[in-house]
C-alpha cells in the first residue's frame, strides 16, 4: 500500500474513533436518550449507550479493567458514584464549567464524579386520612402515632440506604438507629415494590404515608395510564424538615472512567449535561430538580412550591452507606 495512502487512512480512522463517546448507564435509556441525541446533533459526536443495573455495571467495569470500551459511567444515586470512586474506576476531571455550575456539595471533592440532576426523598400522604399539620420531619415518622400507617421500599433500595446514611451523618449513629427502629415499628406492611407501588398503596388505603422520590409522583401525575393518574391525585406531597436541615437530597451523576479512550468527548458530554438546555430538559421531562438553581422547575415541580433542601455534602452518603446497610439489618428493615 502506498505510504501516503496508509497514513491518510489511519488519520481518517483516528478521526472516526475520536468522534464518539461510550456510556455505561444505570439510568434507563428512555430517560436519557433524547438528550444524547441532541448532543450528537449539536456536536457530531456519536453516543453509544449500554444500560443495566448499577451494581452489574460496576462489576462489569472491574472485570473489563483497562480494556473496557466505556468512557463514562452514569448512575442514579450518589452511593454508586462513590462506590465507583472507591473501586478506582474514575479519573480526576478539572473542568472550570462543571466546577462553576455544580454546587460544591453535589460534586466530588477530588473532581472524580459530578451530580447532574437533583431529586428529593419526600413524604407523601392521604389528605383524607392525614392532617398535614401532623406531619413534620423524617424523625417524626418514628412516633407511635404513625403505627401501622407507613409504607416504604426495602432496605436493599439504594435510595433508602442513602436516606439512612444522611440520618447518620446528620444525627449520629445512635440517634439514627433509634429513629430507624421506630420507623420500622410503624410499617403498615413488609416493604415491597418500588416507589410507584408505595404511592398506589397510600391511594388504596393500605397505608397513610410513604417515603418516595419526588419524580415518581410527578411521573404518575402526567402518566398515560389513567389508573396512575387517579392514584396520584388521591395523595399529596409534604416537604420534611423545613424547620430543620431541610429535605433529603440525592443526585443522578457521572464520572469519566480511567481507561476512557474518548476522554475529551466524555468531558464535552458532561459539560453538555449541565447546560441550560439539558437542565431544563431534566426539569420538564424527568421531573428532577436542576443542579443549576437558575433553571426554572417544570410545571409539576413548580406546583409543589419552593422548599428548603438539606445542604449536606453528598460524599458523606457514600461514607456512611455500609453503616446504613448494617443499621437497617439490625432494626429489621427487610
pLDDT in tens, 286-329: 899 999 888 888 788 989 999 999 999 999 998 899 999 999 99
Residues paired with residue 75 on neighbouring β-strands, in sequence order:
253
Give me the pLDDT at residue 6, please.
Answer: 42
Question: Do residues 290 and 118 lie in contact, with contact meaning Cβ atoms separated by under 8 Å?
Answer: yes
The predicted structure's pLDDT at residue 32: 87
Q: What is the pTM of this model?
A: 0.88
Domain 3-118+250-295 has CATH 3.40.190.10: yes
Euclidean distance between CA atoms 209 and 126, whole angstroms: 7
Q: Does residue 34 surpass a pLDDT of 70?
A: yes
Task: Determine the distance from the C-alpha atom of residue 207 to the mean position of all C-alpha atoms in its chain, rounded to a whole number.
Answer: 25
CA distances (Å), 332 to each of 13, 168, 178, 197, in order? Answer: 57, 17, 12, 21
CB atoms within 10 A of CB 305: 9
Question: Model confidence at 18, in pLDDT bands (50, 70, 90)?
Answer: low
* Res. 106: pLDDT tops 80: yes
- Reduced to 3 states, what is the DSSP secondary structure of residue 34? helix
How far is 198 from 152, CA to CA, in rounded Å?
6
> Which CATH number is correct for 119-248+310-330, 2.60.40.10, 3.40.190.10, 3.40.50.1370, 3.20.190.10?
3.40.190.10
Identify the band that residue 13 occupies on the pLDDT scale cut at 50, 70 and 90: very low
Q: Which residues contact 72 (CB under 8 A, 6 or more apart)?
A: 21, 22, 23, 24, 254, 255, 256, 257, 260, 266, 269, 270
Name the segment(s) of the chain with CATH classification 3.40.190.10: 3-118+250-295, 119-248+310-330
Q: Is 180 exposed, middle or buried (0-12, 13-18, 19+ CB in 10 A)?
A: buried
| Mean pLDDT of the 44-66 span | 94
211-229 pLDDT tens trace: 999 999 999 999 999 999 9
pLDDT band at residue 129 using 50, 70 and 90 as cut-offs: very high
Other C-beta atoms within 10 Å of 163: how many?
Answer: 20
**What is the pLDDT averaged over residues 53-60?**
94
Dist CA 185 CA 321 (whole Å):
22
In sequence order, which residues have a C-beta less than 8 Å from that of residue 1 and are 6 or more positions away? none
Q: Which three cell numbers stand for residue 119?
A: 431529586
Residue 15 has pLDDT above 70, yes or no: no
pLDDT at residue 104 greater than cutoff 60: yes
Predicted local confidence at residue 14, as pLDDT: 46
Average pLDDT value over all residues in the chain: 92
Find the mean pLDDT for residues 169-193.
Answer: 97
Q: Are the C-beta atoms of 250 and 121 separated by less than 8 Å?
A: yes
Q: What is the DSSP string of 124-189?
A: EE-TTT--GGG---TGGGGSGGGTT-EE---TT-HHHHHHHHHHHHHH-HHHHHHHHHHHHHTBSS
Contacts of 257 (CB under 8 A, 6+ apart): 61, 68, 70, 71, 72, 73, 89, 90, 91, 266
24-28, 62-66, 292-296, 322-326: range with lowest mean pLDDT: 292-296
Amino acid at each position: 500500500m502506498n505510504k501516503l495512502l496508509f497514513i491518510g487512512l489511519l488519520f481518517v480512522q483516528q478521526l472516526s474513533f475520536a468522534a464518539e463517546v461510550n456510556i455505561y448507564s444505570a439510568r434507563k435509556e428512555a430517560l436519557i436518550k433524547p438528550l444524547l441525541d441532541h448532543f450528537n446533533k449539536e456536536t457530531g459526536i456519536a453516543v453509544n449507550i449500554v444500560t443495566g443495573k448499577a451494581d452489574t455495571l460496576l462489576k462489569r467495569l472491574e472485570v473489563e479493567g483497562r480494556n473496557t470500551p466505556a468512557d463514562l459511567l452514569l448512575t442514579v444515586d450518589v452511593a454508586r458514584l462513590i462506590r465507583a470512586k472507591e473501586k478506582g474506576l474514575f479519573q480526576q476531571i478539572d473542568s472550570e464549567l462543571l466546577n462553576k455550575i455544580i454546587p460544591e456539595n453535589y460534586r466530588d471533592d477530588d473532581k472524580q464524579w459530578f451530580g447532574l440532576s437533583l431529586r428529593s426523598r419526600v413524604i407523601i400522604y392521604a389528605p383524607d386520612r392525614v392532617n398535614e399539620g401532623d406531619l413534620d420531619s423524617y424523625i417524626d415518622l418514628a412516633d407511635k402515632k404513625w403505627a401501622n400507617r407507613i409504607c416504604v421500599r426495602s432496605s436493599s433500595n439504594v435510595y433508602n440506604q442513602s436516606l439512612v446514611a444522611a440520618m447518620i451523618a446528620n444525627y449520629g449513629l445512635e440517634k439514627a438507629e433509634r429513629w430507624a427502629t421506630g420507623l420500622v415499628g410503624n410499617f403498615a406492611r413488609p416493604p415491597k415494590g418500588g416507589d410507584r407501588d408505595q404511592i398506589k398503596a397510600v391511594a388504596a388505603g393500605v397505608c397513610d404515608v410513604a417515603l418516595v422520590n419526588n419524580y415518581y409522583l410527578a411521573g404518575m401525575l402526567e402518566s398515560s395510564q389513567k389508573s396512575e393518574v387517579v392514584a396520584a391525585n388521591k395523595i399529596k406531597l409534604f416537604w420534611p424538615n423545613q424547620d430543620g436541615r431541610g429535605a433529603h437530597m440525592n443526585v443522578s451523576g457521572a464520572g469519566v472512567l480511567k481507561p476512557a479512550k474518548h476522554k475529551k468527548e466524555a468531558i464535552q458530554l458532561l459539560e453538555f449535561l449541565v447546560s441550560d438546555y439539558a437542565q431544563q430538559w431534566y426539569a420538564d421531562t424527568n421531573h428532577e430538580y436542576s443542579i443549576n438553581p437558575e433553571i426554572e422547575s417544570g410545571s409539576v415541580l413548580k406546583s409543589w412550591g419552593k422548599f428548603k433542601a438539606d445542604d449536606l455534602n453528598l460524599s458523606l452518603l457514600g461514607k456512611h452507606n455500609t453503616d446504613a446497610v448494617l443499621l437497617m439489618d439490625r432494626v429489621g428493615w427487610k
